Amino acid sequence: MTGTAARLLPVAVVIAALAPLYVALVGSLTPDARLFQSVPLVPTPLVWDHYRALFGTRGFWVPLGNSLVVAVATTLLALLLGAPCAYALARLRFRGRAIVLALVLAVSMLPQISVVPPLFLFLRELGLIDTHAGLVLPYLTFAMPLTIWFLVTVFRQVPLEIEEAAMMDGASRLVAFRRIVLPLAAPGLATTALLTFLFSWNEFLFALTFTLGPERHTVPVAIALFRGQYQVPWGEVLAAALVATLPVALVVLVAQRRLVSGLTAGGVKG
């Protein structure tokens, strides 16, 4: 590996990673009629029409709201159910722990399509098709193992001594968990929450299957189905894609260091 190449490679990686997003940005600021000719390197003149249309006639607030509600609810529910489980797996000694861990891992590798038919019939029976709850429930299939797997690592890093001291003083497991471990693990909990939020925000197949009308579509579904009866409004599609990217980019910027160490340690998702 020559020195110059090695020096330039990181720069090339950054450019390669960002170039498609830049092209999208330019495209979203270019009038539709020009889009089918060629996309200029720098948009002239800048046209904000696509963004205006997106939040005006398209009502992009609706899918944004849906995604936010579903992703936040999924994250909270997964943390609520998953944190005690992860704590038990990280701290308590009992037979069958390896099997539970393997099960959690197996669930995390479940192909979504293989649970679509029963979940559809199940949600239909409960009258939950096309509701927010009808998305949060299926989202637990990936949110639960993700949260548990991540939090096991987090809880293991909490110093054992403080917890043991508390229990010596007569605190029960539950109290020690709630009063001592959870506060100490707060940064890890936050990272886990961000990651679960990210996955829920991005999910497509379940949202496509279990919502029906535009009033309930999440952001990815709304973008994918964005067309008039005869149209592919590329300008608006690209604008919407960038808007959908914003929260994701924020999460990455805020939590990149923790995300990487967590992901590489837990190796949760490829």
Partner 1 sequence: MRGLLPLLLLALSACARPSAAPALTLATSAVGREGALVQAQLARFEAAHPGLRVELRSTPDEADTRHQLFVHWLNAHASEPDVLQLDVIWTPEFAAAGWILPLDRFEPEAGAFLPAAVEANTWRGQLFALPWFVDVGMLYWRTDLAARPPDDLATLAAEAAQPGPPSGFVWQGARYEGLVTVFLEHLGGFGGRILDDGGRVVVDREPAVRALEYMRDSIHVQRAVPADVLSWQEEHARFAFQNGSARFMRNWPYAVPLLSDPAQSKVAGRFGVAPMPAAPGGTSTAALGGSQLAINARSDQPELAYALIQFLVAPAQMIERAQVAGQYPSRPSLYDDAAIRAALAIPAVEARAIVERAVARPATPVYSELSSILQVHLHRALTRQAEPRAALGTAAVEMRALLSRSGLDAEGGW
Partner 2 sequence: MTRGRAFTALRRAEARAAWGFMAPALGAMALVAAGPIAWTAWESVHLHDLRMPWLDRPFVGLDNYREALATPRLIAAAGHTAVFAILTVTLEVVAGLGLALVLHHRRRARGVVRAAALLPWALPTVVVALLWRFAFEGPASVANMTLASLNLADQPVAWLSGAVTAWVPIVLADAWRMTPFVALLILAGLQQIDPALHEAARLDGASPWRAFCAITLPLVAPALLVAALFRALDAVRVFDLVYVLTGGGPGAATEPLSLYAFDALMRHLRFGYGSAISMGVFVASFAGALVWIRLMGQRALVREEA
Q: Which stretch binds partner 1 (CB under 8 A): 43-51, 194-202, 222-230, 237-245?
A: 222-230
Which one, 80 or 160, has the nearer CB to partner 1?
A: 80
Query: Which alpha helices (DSSP H) does the chain contain, by range?
Result: 3-28, 32-35, 49-55, 61-91, 97-108, 116-125, 133-156, 160-168, 173-175, 182-184, 186-202, 205-210, 219-224, 234-266
Q: Given candidates 85, 182, 184, 190, which one binds partner 2 under the rule CB under 8 A?
A: 85
User: Smaller CB distance to partner 2: residue 7 or 42?
Assistant: 7
Cα 128 to Cα 119, 139, 211, distances in angstroms: 10, 13, 9
116 binds partner 2 (CB under 8 A): yes
Segment 100 to 159, residues that bind partner 1, using CB under 8 A: 124, 129-133, 136
Tokens of 205: 């197949």
- CB closer to partner 2 out of 112 and 131: 112
Which of 159, 144, 134, 268 has its CA nearest to residue 210?
134
Q: How far is the CB of 245 from partner 1 (least distance, A)?
A: 23
Long-range contact pairs involving 222-229 (C-beta distance under 8 Å, separation at least 24): 222/60, 222/62, 222/63, 226/58
Which range touches partner 2 (CB under 8 A), out of 46-54, 57-65, 105-113, 185-193?
Answer: 105-113
Q: State which of residues 132, 173, 178, 258 lies at the interface with partner 2 (CB under 8 A).
A: 173
Of positions 1, 2, 3, 36, contacts partner 1 by CB under 8 A: 36
Distance between CA atoms of residues 184 and 191, nearest Å: 13
CA–CA separation, 27 and 31 (whole Å)? 8
The span of 52-60, 134-142, 158-166, 184-192 binding partner 2 (CB under 8 A) equals 134-142
List 2, 4, 16, 57, residue binding partner 2 (CB under 8 A) = 16
Bond preceding residue 45 cis, omega within 30 of 0: yes
Among 33, 42, 92, 168, the residue binding partner 2 under the rule CB under 8 A is: 92
Crossing angle of helices 186-202/234-266, nearest 10°?
A: 140
Cβ(129)–Cβ(207) below 8 Å: no
Q: In the stretch 18-57, what mask flags binding to partner 2 with x, by CB under 8 A?
A: x-xx-xx--x--------xxxx------------------
List the one residue from 64, 185, 193, 237 that touches partner 2 (CB under 8 A).
237
User: Measured from the CB of residue 152, what is the shortest distance to partner 2 in angstroms?
Assistant: 8
**What is the residue type of 76?**
L
Q: Which is nearer to partner 1, 16 or 33 (CB)?
A: 33
Positions that interact with partner 1 (CB under 8 A): 33, 36-37, 57, 69, 73, 76-77, 80, 124, 129-133, 136, 178, 182, 212-214, 225, 227-232
